[in-house]
Structure 1
Amino acid sequence: MPKVLAFYLPQYHPIPENNEWWGEGFTEWNNVAPARPRFDGHYQPHIPADLGFYDLRVAETRQKQASLAAEYGVDGFCYYHYWFNGRRLLERPLFEVLKSNSPTLPFCICWANENWTRAWDGLDRQVLMSQDYTAEDSDAHITCLLEYFSDNRYIKINGRPLFLVYRPDHIPNASSYFAEWNSKAESAGFPGLYICAVKNGFVELSDKEILNEGYDAIVDFQPDRRDFPIASSRSQVAVDLARKVLPNTVYQYLKTNVSAVNRIDYTALVEGVTKKEWPQDYRKYPCVFPSWDNTARRKTPTVIQNLEPETYGRWLKYALESVSQYPEDESFVFINAWNEWAEGCHLEPDKKMGRAFLEVTKRTVGL
């Protein structure tokens, strides 16, 4: 059976940088709670149920998350990792997991290697912290990561630590860049690294181009606008047209300042995605999401609302079957996400849906 890994956001505790940029005590919850419905039948705000408005500095919270995940068929967390030229942000939750040796749930890391901006969308506007890829920084970074890779809970493929890169297209000469990392890993006793490129909606490289850059596998991150169904609402038609014909600066201004909703039909999206033939001659890992809605973060949000967990279950079943012929050690399905609350994208229970998405996950993986 393929392993199910859920992306995990560590943005639920205050840090000095967020206090400075967004106000004292800021966490992701500051975005989540004030969200309001934008149309009839729109489910907002998403209010957490079982775990409440938690603080990830609390060990009991981290243990409850891991226990809940394991109970319902999630085999591990993929923690977002924020590294900016030797400076780490939001590192405390995973650092505490490492230091305390608890919880025991397996984990891996996804390097969120975008510029840190006020817009939260990876577009280079109002940059607060930028990325760099110097040789000196690369050496410091892999030295830091080896501490995590050495943990016995860290997910490995034939002994190689699994490491994800969110923007593979941002790293110049990636093949040479990661060759140095592999050399460092081998010196530390590993047979190398297993590096996955996250192919999200911003990455324009083809699968072949990504693999030629030296990546071992690809994660088909979702949602991806390239998989959106044919426009089914006036707002989506307008957004699609604006993206195609307007200069990017004008489009981004309208996206930020004009109040509108881009509504995507979740069922139609799933029907389209699940008709794809999945590659078997190289490793490409599917990504599934239960629902998605970034109203809490955007004036012009994209809403892919899903209140039917069984539809998500069909997508998850397809994903599991798609990689079932991969070698057992290289068979993964990713879920976006465990706790992306401000994107309306979470397996953690909320007041409206309860544990419905978790229950479907459990049934689908056969527990």
Structure 2
Amino acid sequence: MTAAVVVVVTGLGAGDAALTAPAARAASSPAKVTDPVPMIELRTPAGGRFYTLSPREAAAAVANHGFTREPGQAGYWRTSAFSGSQPVFRLRGGSGYLLTASESERSALVRSGSFKDEGVAGHLWATQQPGTQRLLRFSKSGEWRVAVESRQAELTGQGYRVDGPLGWAHPEWIRAGAIYFGTYNPASTDVIAATKRVFGRDGDYWGGVRDFSGSDPAVPKNTQGWDGDFSHLRPAIGFYDDSRPETVERHITQATDAGLDFFQFYWYWDTGRQRPPQRFDASLAAFAGARNRLDIDYSLTVCAHPWGNLGIPKADFTTVADDFVRHFSQPNYLRANDGRLILTLCDRRGIGDGSDTDTQAFVSVVRQRAAAALGEEVLVLGYWEAMLDPAAPARWGTDGAYCGVRIDHEPSYARYAATLPDYLAKGPAQFMRCAAQGFDERPRYPHLIPDRSKIRFYADQSPELFADVLTALRKDIATSRRVSAVDNFVSMYAWNEWHEGGILEPNARDGCRYLGIVHTSLALPTGKPCS
């Protein structure tokens, strides 16, 4: 395994230092990631085991030195020391790698000349904590492995012996978030105008949703001829104004109580006004003013639509990138496991002329501005198209993809649930997994979508099928062979897409049932289940 010697120099983070020339002025910041991250297990060409918390180091080992990714994770570790933690060291000896939490063993092995010290591999709890398992080191014929204690019988049955404990770690740590659609406020003039034109009510930015729900005594129930119970189309906190910080504060509390880790705010650009449209920017401003905003992370998801003055012309690339930097500088902006800031694209057709070349140019400007202003790297994930065409990220200059709603490809929710594993398997190496709670744009008819034949909805969506979707995601993460900086992230559609039926936010009919399904099915490590 002599070729593997050059993979690292000093252990954790060393691979991150080998930046390519265009990114030489920026660096990822793993020390700023406080959540546990997956310990990636690789098999060396000589048959040994190699462990790293750095996706970049793992990718280099695979691409340049013939290592292969083993399925799953060897627990979830911290990249930096924390109260109650202990470091674990990585040593290289001949054709193998060894992890130890013992300072005396480390010193003795290095003094013997048989092992080279590669520094700290990561940090574990020194004592048992809720939800943690002991991590054990196993050995067999000069090969060392690390696994949670629940795998002891499996590995000893394969001829391994237990060398001893390394510390305590979470066997799973899924970071789940939801897309936040901020448009329920007085600046939503398009919905207000359409509601007045069709329904005769002025100032109603809940038009259509309110009509279908039957939950407002002042608005007659009007489901436009569709049968069914639509009482879930009333938020549990009532029809709100999301430009008010107190509204977003309640959303943050609801989300974090159930274990959600981040919101993905849809981000739009108004070419004429040279700023985000007020109806969307208002909710981000409210989030910034929320007293509990630091309880949850957030990211931006760029929707550059090729209509309605919502594109991003090339002349605006730098201005837009600088607006992103304003968000990137916030302490609770979402970071990947390697510390990179996460930016996702929900639609790239309006970026410049919509070409691959203009998308590449836009992504490059964003990275350059983040590097110049903050000294930071940005992980850019393309939209759902990249899941159908794994070569797309390279054409766009993005790092990978995040997957999205597939109603145009799978109009049956049962089919969507059944085909999800195959869909995930086709994605690029680096992507953020996703789950759609549902899709139903009937509340858009007829004021926002006047052609009834164009209305899309899942007629067979159910809570049970949603649980199946999340269970499949959890299994896919637990057995993953990907080298990805977001391998344990799940993006859900959506927190509050009330006009499109993606609704995790507690509602008048279901309460927090769907959040309870998320918490239980994904075994979220924080928050609590609800029903």
What's the TM-score, normalizing by structure 2? 0.55
* Selected match of 2:255 from 32, 47, 69: 69
Contact 1:290-1:306 within 8 A present in 2 as well:
no
**Equivalents in 1 of 2:368, 2:412: separation in Å?**
46
Per-residue Cα deviation, 1:242-296 (whole angstroms, up to 9, x for no partner):
xxxxxxxxxxxxxxxxxxxxxx432232112234452586112222122221001
Deviations 1:71-121 (A, max 9, x none): 112111000111122231120221232255642211001111114xxxxxx
Specify every segment of 5 or more residues in structure 2 that has no aligned partner in the other structure, as ranges.
Answer: 1-172, 197-201, 213-221, 446-451, 525-531
Specify the SS of the correspondent of 2:472: helix
2:276 maps to: 88
Q: Which residue of 1 aligns with 2:376?
A: 191
Of 16, 26, 51, the match for 2:237: 51
What letter matches 2:181 in structure 1?
L
Partners of 1:53 and 1:311 lie apart in 2 by 28
CA distance in 1 between partners of 2:382 and 2:477 (Å): 17
Instruction: Give, in angstroms, the shift of residue 170 of structure 1.
Output: 4.0
Q: Answer yes or no: is the 8 Å Cα contact 2:304–2:312 preserved in 1.
A: no
Task: State the aligned residue count.
Answer: 316
| Distance apart, 1:4 and its partner CA | 0.9
Q: Which residue of 1 aligns with 2:490?
A: 333
Q: 2:329 aligns with which of 145, 150, 157?
A: 150
CA contact (8 A) 1:267 1:311 kept: yes
CA spacing shift, 1:16–1:308, aligned 2, 3 Å: closer
Q: Write the distance in 1 (CA, Å) between the matches of 2:364 and 2:186.
A: 36
Secondary structure of 1:225's counterpart equals coil
Q: CA deviation at 1:320?
A: 2.9
* Aligned amino acid, residue 199 of structure 1: W
Could you tell me which residue of structure 2 aligns to residue 162 of structure 1? 342
- Is the counterpart of residue 98 in structure 1 residue 288 in structure 2? yes
Contact 1:291-1:305 within 8 A present in 2 as well: no
Deviation at 1:51, TM superposition (A): 1.4
Share of identical aligned residues, percent? 18
- The separation in 2 between residues aligned to 1:44 and 1:100, in whole angstroms, is 30
- Of residues 168-177 and 335-344 in structure 1, the stretch that sits farther from structure 2 once superposed is 168-177
Q: TM-score, normalized by length of structure 1? A: 0.77
Distance 2:388 2:484 in 1: 28
Alignment RMSD? 2.6
Alignment match of 2:313 (pick from 115, 127, 133): 133
- Secondary structure, counterpart of 2:371 in structure 1: helix
Report whether the alignment pairs 1:319 with 2:473: yes
Query: Aligned partners of 2:318, 2:226: CA distance in 1, in Å?
Result: 52
Taking the aligned partners of 2:267 and 2:423, their CA distance within structure 1 comes to: 31
1:344 and 1:280 mapped to 2: Cα distance?
25
Q: Does the C-alpha gap of structure 1 residues 356 and 284 become closer, same or farther in structure 2, counting only changes over 3 Å?
A: same
Give the direction of change, closer, same or farther, for the CA distance of 1:98–1:277 in structure 2 (3 Å limit).
closer
Relative to its length, the structure with more strand (as a share) is: 2
* 1:205-263 deviation digits (Å, cap 9, x = unpaired): 7221233321112111113422x1xxxxxxxxxxxxxxxxxxxxxxxxxxxxxxxxxxx
1:9 equivalent in structure 2 = 181
Give the partner amino acid of 1:304: Y
Paired residue type of 1:210:
P
Contact 1:337 1:346 (C-alpha < 8 Å) held by counterparts: yes
Partner of 1:344: 501
Give the counterpart letter for 2:329 in structure 1: S
1:20 Cα deviation from its structure 2 partner: 7.9
**Secondary structure of 2:331's aligned partner:** coil
User: Matches of residues 351-366 of structure 1 in structure 2 within 5 Å?
Assistant: 351-366=508-523
Residue number among 277, 286, 291 corresponding to 2:438 in the alignment: 291
Alignment-derived partner of residue 178 in structure 1: 363
AA of the residue aligned to 2:361:
S
Which residue of the partner structure matches residue 396 of structure 2? 213
**Offset from partner CA, 1:49-71 (integer Å, 9 cap, x none):** 42111111222221111111111
Cα deviations across residues 164-211 of structure 1 (Å, max 9, x unaligned)?
1112344331222221221111111233211111115xx897221233
Structure number with greater CO (CA < 8 Å, separation at least 6) is 1
**Aligned to 1:111, which of 270, 287, 302?**
302
Question: 1:317 Cα shift?
Answer: 1.8
CA contact (8 A) 1:291 1:306 kept: no
Larger Rg: 2
